[in-house]
Amino acid sequence: MLAVAGGYAAAIIGAGFASGQEIVSFFVRYGRFGFWGIVVACVIFALFAAVVLGFCIKTNINSYAELIDRVVTTKAVRSAINTVIFVCSAAAMCVMTACAGEIGRSVYGAPPIVGAAALTLLCGVIFLMNSRGIMSLNAALGGVLVVGIIFACLYILRYREHQTVFVQGSAAVSGFAYAGYNIIGTGAVLAAMSRFLKNKTDAILAAISAGIAIFIMITLIWGVLSIYYGKINLGEIPMLTMTFRQNNALGIFYSLMLSAAVLTTAVSSGYALIDFLGKRINRKLAAIIILIGSFFISGAGFSSLVDNVYRVCGYIGAAAAAFLIYKISIKMKNEENKRK
């Protein structure tokens, strides 16, 4: 149960989360009201996990594609949902490429294009060699990220100043959007891990555990960054700025952890895109198109992509996820009535 919760949390965290830029864009800018956005997002995370895991256990399936096929009977709607997943994966690939560029600039003083090119080339080698082994690092990375994020936040909070509060916009809607683009693609992770659970109770407990873990991490990052938001320049990668602000050792540790998260997130998203396009064109050609596209789009800038592209993906992803939850609930209710 804890392994499933950890794997799901790892899929949610990713590099955008660990960088702190997502937290600034979706929660910190709303000041104290950002906390309620965090609550909304984490409730959605837990609800989606509980519904998907419960359905997979009940129907004995461990494939997200099979789940979608079973609950969505209309071909056009299935295609629309798969397109949403593709768009969200493409956005993640572009954001990770931009993040690699910013890490190179922040840590080594290199132009962002150098870091973006390095990640593109590394991913190209992995994709063209069809080496999926690196994806198995995600579960282990999840544990490292959880511990690393909590440690870094608690360390920084030792030096906290007075809290600053900014009130603007709807934090709850922002939390809804934040959860949207994160969960729509994680159904594949949940479906695959459902075989490790025995019953619906295990599914609910795993979902709640993941929701609590994510809530703790988001709240800690939100607390740290809210203290300094508006007082100092947090940069393109706020958590990296804050860790280097404390000392170089903490900054280097966090940059290595973030670099690993960028690579695994980019590879996971890239393979999802290749699997989608590979049904229509040659897989190697699909990989080349994806890498070139993400490299050029990453030039828009890390924070700009997170704030704009992720937000749009969040709304369409949330709508698709809500539709899936609804269809799964109807399907399970109908099957329960048939058994009665």
Residue 78 CA: distances (Å) to CA of 71, 187, 222: 9, 14, 36
Is 2-158+165-333 assigned to CATH 1.20.1740.10? yes
> What residue spans define the domains of the chain?
2-158+165-333
DSSP 29: G
Tens digit of pLDDT at every position of the chain (340 positions): 777 887 777 777 776 778 888 888 888 888 888 888 889 889 999 999 998 888 888 888 877 778 888 888 888 888 888 888 888 888 888 988 998 998 888 888 889 899 999 999 988 888 877 655 555 565 566 667 777 888 888 887 765 544 433 344 466 777 778 888 778 777 777 877 788 888 888 889 988 988 898 898 888 888 888 888 888 888 888 888 888 888 888 888 888 888 888 887 788 788 878 877 877 888 888 888 999 999 999 888 888 888 888 888 888 888 888 888 888 888 888 777 777 7
pTM for the model stands at 0.78
First to last CA, the chain: 30
φ, ψ dihedrals at 279, nearest 5°: -80, -15
Q: What pLDDT is attached to residue 133?
A: 58
Q: What pLDDT is attached to residue 162?
A: 42
- The answer to whether 193 touches 4, Cβ cutoff 8 Å, is yes
